[in-house]
Structure 1
Amino acid sequence: MSRASWPPARALTAAAVCAASLLALCGPAVADGPYGIDDLRGAPPAPTENLLDEHGVQFLPRRGVAEPPRVSALSWAVTDLRGHRILAAKDAHRQLPPASTLKTLFALTVLPKFSQGAVRTVSSSDLAGIEAGSALAGLKEDMPYRVADLWHGVFLSSGSDAVHALAAMNGGWTKTIDDMQATADRLGAHDTTVESADGFDTPGQFSSAYDLSLFGQAGLTNRDFARFAATKTAHLPEDAGEDAYGIQNTNRLLVGSHGVTPYDGLIGVKNGYTTHAGNTLVAAARRGGRTLLVTVMNPQSGAENAVYEEARALLDWGFAAAPRAAAVGVLPTPAPDRRDPGTERAAHQAPRTALHQASTARSAGHQDDVILLSFSAAGVVALTVLGTALWWRRQPSGADGGGPEN
């Protein structure tokens, strides 16, 4: 090697060593935990497919993530709808009576079938068969109601009379139950057996926190469902003038009543109560572009507002934990309902599965890390070569580079 070529070669070698050192030093800093920087793109799905089948509370400890709060509900689940990740759950597949939270499945089944402006004149046969003790919206025989009025009665008043009127439009009570079961099967809600369209206590009727979360997730992709679920007050019938009367949503966490403070960012979905089921609640809230869905079934504490306060505690935990928490499972992406073009478009825009979405996020994160390190290493090389070139130009002609000649 000539005397003139040695310093640039030495500079390039030094640059390569620096770049390699930079890669080695930056690697552990980027790999903060097994899946990269915690806050970049969320945690991966659970490593165990059947984790939700296990008894008790399911939560994967992770650095910087507090354990979920201890609540008295027999079953519950916290889902981050960004990625459909279940962050924590207790007995998610335990079959329990759902009470009026089953009306979410009723709405998923019947809501897309009729125009909101269609009119139904309620008949005595529409209101036949309502179980004693059922919640009512106060529908009157021979009174015309728009379909939107009837849905206000379902979502706000949890009215079995409104459910019966809509079921009559759908072809009858028995057909509606069969249709609801078919919808549950389509969504993969295998814990759910439908025996009553309004959720009233009926032998053999069950659902689970997992299935109710499926219904809530699917419902929020439907614009009408989401709008009714978030409505706090309405007039029934809306266009009846002096004959109209006001109704208020019975979801205390949404409206703030009976000693419950409304939850900041709550967007619905549905509450329920029967003697056998106890209190049940599916609640969704949105903050900072993130939507969480919490399902709580049958709190055992005995406190009057336990279902709402336990849902509040789980939502608070979820918003704090979601950026870093590892998932214990995933909800499948809702399959499009061909009857609702809005739902179909939303489903086509989403990734095919939550597992695919999580995998894509991890791949993107890895690519970003590689790009960042590549630019850093290139910068070191460029600065080293430039500095060496400037130094070499300042040396006298024929200066010895300090290495042996060959």
Structure 2
Amino acid sequence: MKKIVCAVLVFLSLLPLSAAGAVNAKSAIVLDGLTGAVYFELNADEQLPMASTTKIMTAIVTIELGDLDREYEVKREYTLVEGTSMSLREGERLTIRDTLWGLLMLSGNDAALALAGEGGGMENFVAKMNAKAHELGLENTHFDNPHGLDSEGHYTTARELALLAAYALRDETFREIVSSTSHSAAGRSMTNHNKLLRTYDGACGVKTGYTRRAGRCLVSAAERSGRRIVVVTLNDPDDWKDHAELLDLGFSKFEERPLQTAGCEVGACTVYGGVPETVPLLAGETLTAWLADGEQPQVVLHGPHFTYAPVFGSAYFGRIEYRLGGETLAEGQVAYGADSARAAEKKSLWERIREWLFG
């Protein structure tokens, strides 16, 4: 009997976190932010309310509308909302950009109403949120409002929320805001309440959320060695602990691998009018990247398709770039690997006849 119990315990220790009961969430996922690969999931396709993590979409729609430095006047209707607030005051003037900071850092529901109002009106703005969800292929997501307060038609899944976050993190403005621990704007001192920014190595955002119906919702991300992991938990009473463990799980999938060694051949270049007519291209340095099993980065050479003689070995050719999921993993310089002298010019037929006749 003891042997059976021990065997069961060993088996459970080898199971994914969900099977071993270590994740407290109703729904969860660990997603590779570059490739979209899933390293862990728990009820990841169940439609659930997502509270203020809604504001990830509110922010992206606002950013993509542009004109972030436009100033506007706060209307009374923007201030009439319950829950978390950036304390907008009727008649106050501030920019869309400052309001974005209040939306994401202070989780201001009033900021969400202001951005929707200034982004074409509530109904129109929410329609844009749903259109963006459709554009991104988020077919199990629907928005009723820009702030995330409970509503029957307001839901997403852990999988689709992670995909949305991965998309949002590709935007420089969004990434700057959610990765900042503090900020001053519009006469306000803002502090980011995302604990992971202070406690987890490489954490870079993104958004917390809570309502009674949704429970504690959290979207987090971290970057290490050029790789980004996105974690989502919905209705998780112990989300901070779970996210640290799930981020660790994500990063455990990677190992450092060589991409090239200094001096290795990475291509060739045609030399017009040269001898030889083709010269090798050599890597200027050793490059490595953190990769998961089976990943093959795309190799892109940046330089001329051809050149003219003479060419000198070790002269600068251009750059080599290794890309994965549309982002750069590593890059370095490339040099010509051999000389190519200018070929002797061929004489014309008339020149050869004259030389034959007259010596």
Classify the TM-score, shorter chain. Answer: 0.5 to 0.7
Question: What is aligned with 1:90?
Answer: 42
2:250 is aligned, of 318, 323, 328, to 318
The whole-number CA distance in structure 1 between the counterparts of 2:134 and 2:126 is: 12
The whole-number CA distance in structure 1 between the counterparts of 2:179 and 2:253 is: 25
Matched, 1:230 2:179: yes
Matched, 1:181 2:130: yes
Matched, 1:309 2:258: no
The whole-number CA distance in structure 1 between the counterparts of 2:325 and 2:204 is: 23
Q: CA RMSD in A?
A: 2.2
Query: Match of 1:264, SS?
Result: coil
| TM-score using structure 1 length | 0.58
Question: What is aligned with 2:106?
Answer: 157
Encode CA deviations 1:2-42: one digit per residue, 9 max, x unaligned.
xxxxxxxxxxxxxxxxxxxxxxxxxxxxxxxxxxxxxxxxx
The structure carrying a bigger strand percent of its residues is 2
The whole-number CA distance in structure 1 between the counterparts of 2:155 and 2:188 is: 34
Q: Mind listing any 5+ residue stretches in structure 1 that lack a counterpart?
A: 1-64, 238-243, 257-261, 328-348, 355-406
- The alpha-carbon deviation at position 316 of structure 1 amounts to 0.9
Q: Mind listing any 5+ residue stretches in structure 2 that lack a counterpart?
A: 1-13, 256-290, 295-322, 328-359
Query: Match of 1:93, SS?
Result: coil
Q: What is the number of equivalent residue pairs in this alignment?
A: 248
Question: What is aligned with 1:213?
Answer: 162
Give the aligned residue type for 1:94.
E
2:191 is aligned, of 240, 248, 265, to 248
The whole-number CA distance in structure 1 between the counterparts of 2:133 and 2:34 is: 22
Matched, 1:191 2:140: yes
Which of structure 1's runs of 4+ aligned residues deviate more than 6 A?
Answer: 324-327
Does the 8 A contact of 1:87 with 1:326 survive in 2? Answer: no
For residues 137-152 of structure 1, the aligned pairs below 5 Å read 137-152=86-101
Matched, 1:286 2:246: no
Query: Match of 2:40, SS?
Result: strand
Matched, 1:276 2:208: no
Encode CA deviations 1:163-209: one digit per residue, 9 max, x unaligned.
11111111111111111010001101111111111111112211010
Does the 8 A contact of 1:75 with 1:209 survive in 2? Answer: yes
- The alpha-carbon deviation at position 279 of structure 1 amounts to 0.6
Give the aligned residue type for 1:314.
L
For residues 2-401 of structure 1, the aligned pairs below 5 Å read 67-68=16-17, 70-128=22-80, 130=81, 132=82, 134-237=83-186, 244-254=187-197, 256=198, 262-299=199-236, 302=237, 306-323=238-255
The whole-number CA distance in structure 1 between the counterparts of 2:324 and 2:149 is: 34
Q: Percent identity?
A: 29
- The alpha-carbon deviation at position 143 of structure 1 amounts to 1.3
- The alpha-carbon deviation at position 116 of structure 1 amounts to 2.7
The 1:226/1:147 distance shift into structure 2, 3 A limit, reads same
Query: Match of 1:205, SS?
Result: coil
The whole-number CA distance in structure 2 between the counterparts of 1:108 and 1:350 is: 23
Query: Match of 2:78, SS?
Result: coil
| TM-score using structure 2 length | 0.65
